[in-house]
Chains A and B, each alone.
Chain A
């Protein structure tokens, strides 16, 4: 059974935060096409605070996710603060009492995060939101696990589904959030929340895959 210690996986939190900070302009540019162009700014602001708060002290993945959750809920408003804040908080709580992460533990964690976002945002697949990345990603992981694939192969399936889900938002018409005011005019561009979700899931999957391959750096 492929497992990763939560302590070893802790620095993946930093990978995620740095990836979001670096993508600031990219995410804002996507958001500007249909929203108010501040998605990258708000996300980067939140994850910069995460980097400051995590500092140089050692932390495991559960603590890292808890810090992301607290920071987004406490300091980043808008829609993304509560959505991603709840996502990371619930994922962190799903890790309570564990020292390691394996395939089934990851799936349980992802399900908990997804449930928090669905409960709060009430978005469904097809509404052109981050759910169009998150739900197919979780489903792909679940299918792969169901067919007996190992953790690394499940993460690869998740990564592929996240990328496909993001690209699929291009042809959707927004039904929720600020872009929904555009109706048909929202078709033809990616969804900004879906883009940040793909980035977060990809960075998480990449980090875990590296650890599974024994190459954490």
Chain B
């Protein structure tokens, strides 16, 4: 495969170097090479940390910024950051008021965060966690604790970051983050595989002419392999799964349509049009709309749809000003 890289084993380091040069106004290096923090002076409030594997850009580092995440732990491509990285991120984000670690439900992340929380406790840093599990395709509703975290994490970071910026204490930040993810559901459709640069070849396949409904962010198998359908039908399939999982009738929602890496923005907007139309036909009103490459999987073709059921607080938190590589909200 043709790639814009040097050493396939150094893509994470090399990419981080570019990110820091491109966004000195947003991101600052730390003593730990795999931890970045929000640029500028630290204000006294609860710290917000996330972390995850590389290859999902702009996630996770692209959501570090004012009104969002304070420090991020960066893992290898598709692999959890180390316990020591999460621990270093907690130290960077802590200003004596505790740290909210908001991350996705994967075995590696769970273990590394668990170890890092113990390490931080020895430093006297209080860390509370919220584990995103918004992917409806990754486990049935009665096993929701096995579900993966996907693009819905962005709304969790936005809510938690905004609540921290409002001056809430750690419990308040955790509660807002949990409310956001508990009211959020996502599903993806994969149209082509992706290749970890160090592997050199894809470790899963999607046959030409087929689509995998419910695919995971690392190519995890979904719930059905179907012939590629028109965008209108894709929107219907995805909304059916999400809406059946939470009662969305007659509510206001945030809608996030993310490309998985190699699907053109034009197609993402095309899909959004159908999603918006279908939601309104069910009396569900899209109040916040995000369309773009928010949470990707290297060069996978495909798309994910995320809905977040809003109440007054979540609406306010999503509306609050924020600035980052992946998401900027002017505020209103």
Beta-carbon contact of A82 and B76 below 8 Å: no
A-contact 0/1 string along B201-234, CB 8 Å cutoff: 0010000000000001011110000000000000
Stretch at the interface among A33-41, A146-154, A202-210: A33-41
Question: What residues of A have a CB within 8 angstroms of the CB of B199 in the complex?
Answer: 28, 37-38, 41
B196 within 8 A of A: yes
B82 at interface by CB-CB < 8 Å: yes
Whether B82 lies near A178 (C-beta < 8 A) is no
Within 8 A of B (CB), among A99-158: 120-121
Question: B221 — which chain A residues lie within 8 A by C-beta?
Answer: 181-182, 185
B-contacting 9-mer, from A13-21, A50-58, A70-78: A70-78
B80 CB contact (under 8 Å) in A78, A85, A121, A180: A78
Q: In the complex the two chains form, what is the Cα distance from A148 to B108 in whole Å?
A: 40
Which residues of A from 185 to 201 have beta carbons under 8 Å from B?
185
Which residues of the partner chain A approach B53 to less than 8 Å between Cβ atoms?
A: 77-78
Partner pick for A37 among B82, B196, B220, CB 8 A cutoff? B196
CB within 8 Å of A: which of B1-57?
Answer: 9, 53
Cross-chain contact B78 with A77 (CB below 8 angstroms): no
Q: Is B246 an interface residue (CB 8 A)?
A: no
A73 contacts B108, C-beta separation under 8 Å: no
Contact indicator A76/B82 (Cβ below 8 Å)? yes
Chain B contact patch, size range: 20 to 34
Q: Are A42 and B76 in contact (CB under 8 A)?
A: yes
Contact check, B114 vs A77: say whether CB atoms are below 8 A apart: no
- A38-B198, A82-B83, A82-B115 in contact; A77/B220 too (CB < 8 A)? no
Structural contact, B75 and A78, CB atoms closer than 8 A: yes
Q: Which of chain A's residues have a CB closer than 8 A to the CB of B78?
A: 36, 38
Residues of A with C-beta under 8 A to B108: 77-82
Chain A interface residue count: which class?
A: 20 to 34
Q: Is the CB of B218 within 8 A of A77?
A: no
Cα distance A45–B216 in the bound complex, in angstroms:
25
> Which residues of the partner chain A approach B198 to less than 8 Å between Cβ atoms?
38, 41
Give the residues in chain B near A86, CB-CB below 8 Å. 115
B75–A77 contact, CB under 8 A?
yes
Inter-chain CA distance A178–B138, complex, in Å, is 11
Q: Using Cβ atoms and an 8 Å threshold, which residues of chain A touch B219? A: 36
A77 contact from B79, B203, B216, Cβ within 8 A? B79
Q: Which of B77, B138, B203 is packed against the most chain A CB atoms within 10 Å?
A: B203
What CA separation (Å) do A56 and B138 show in the bound complex? Answer: 48
**Chain B residues near A75 (CB, 8 Å)?**
82
B115 adjacent to A36 (CB under 8 Å): no
Can you list 6 A-B pairs, Cβ within 8 angstroms, ordered by A? A28-B199, A36-B196, A37-B196, A86-B115, A181-B138, A182-B220
Q: A42-B76, A79-B108 are in contact. List 16 more A-B contacts (CB 8 A).
A: A36-B78, A36-B218, A37-B196, A37-B199, A38-B198, A41-B199, A73-B82, A77-B75, A77-B112, A78-B76, A78-B108, A82-B82, A86-B115, A178-B218, A181-B221, A182-B221
Residues of A within 8 A of B (CB): 28, 31-32, 35-38, 41-42, 45, 73-83, 85-86, 120-121, 176-178, 180-182, 185
